[in-house]
Structure 1
Amino acid sequence: MKHTWSLLGAAAIGAALVTGPAWAQQPAAAPPAGQTMAAPAAGQADAGAPPPYSAEDARAILNARLAALKAVIELTPEQDKLWPALETAVRDIVKDAAQRRAQRSQQPPPATFLDVLGRIADAEETRGKDLRRFVEAAKPFVASLSDAQKRRVPAFLGMTDHPGGPQPSAQIWLFEEEDDQS
């Protein structure tokens, strides 16, 4: 049972490192009475729209998440020595997810529902391999954590720490860079 929770803890860390930020925005202000808002010309950005999500934004958010996770866990000096391997795995997975999004944006849209399902299957298979890569990288790190540190991880990730409770959605932030940013 304890081994299962250790593996779940490792998977939970991976899950937390993947679920994306919520982008809450204020609704656009209504135009003054009698006026309408014209759509921007083709190829022009809407002057009132926020700037597009950039690689710098993604890097800053990932850096913040990793720093927050370290702060929540309160690593000992010995545990801190195990952190770089885990962090490297996370950064590599996030980078790969961003590259997949860029490649997908260059592909023609799927022609049939079978093409869509095939792409979903390919993406899920790749994400599964990346999650397995994360779990393997996380095992030595998670094994070094105290019970108190392990208890903090699910709360940080928004998970419950008892069996059978609701868990986070399938949207893991390790892969958010794979999703379209709009």
Structure 2
Amino acid sequence: MRNRPSFRVAFCGVLAALMIVIMLLGTMIPATEYLCPAVAGVLIIPVVWEFGGKTGALLYLAVALLSLILSPNKEAALFFALLFGWYPLARPKLQHLRRKPLRVVLKLVLFNAALAVIIALLLFVLVSPDWQADAANWTGLVVAGMLVLGNVAFLIYDVLLARISDLYVYRLRPKLFPRHFS
């Protein structure tokens, strides 16, 4: 059953719909505009485990495009499209690096590069008045503090992705697909 194309399409369709609903919640609940893209990105993990990275990448692209089109909160949509959507796909590849310090540095470089692109898009392309008003009040100390807190939050998110992936593999997967594990 799991290998049939109809099951793959249905499974990914249900998860895509759930991810879009979560992304739209970021619009309705103001304090969750960073949390909702992160939670939506977590839902790519089952697709990667069940069907591989290519199907996970297609799901990410579909949800990223739909969230950029449908979501009124472009900031949350950009955070999903440029950071939290692709990172669960790239994380397993990064985990194969043997040296942990190199792995952590590479993850932080990827995060900071994605963050720089998001901020540049918000300030100069999408020209968000809220962001421009906030940016006018930023000092060097505030920017440094936000970067440090952002990096710490990203490292916590990375650890949580590992724990959620383990939870899916060892607890949820045998219950969702019992014939596959019996």
Do Structure 1 and Structure 2 share a fold, with TM-score over 0.5? no
- Indicate the structure (1 or 2) with the bigger Cα radius of gyration: 1
Greater RCO between the two (CA within 8 Å, min separation 6)?
1
| TM-score, length basis structure 2 | 0.36
Question: Which one has a larger percent helix, Structure 1 or Structure 2?
Answer: 2
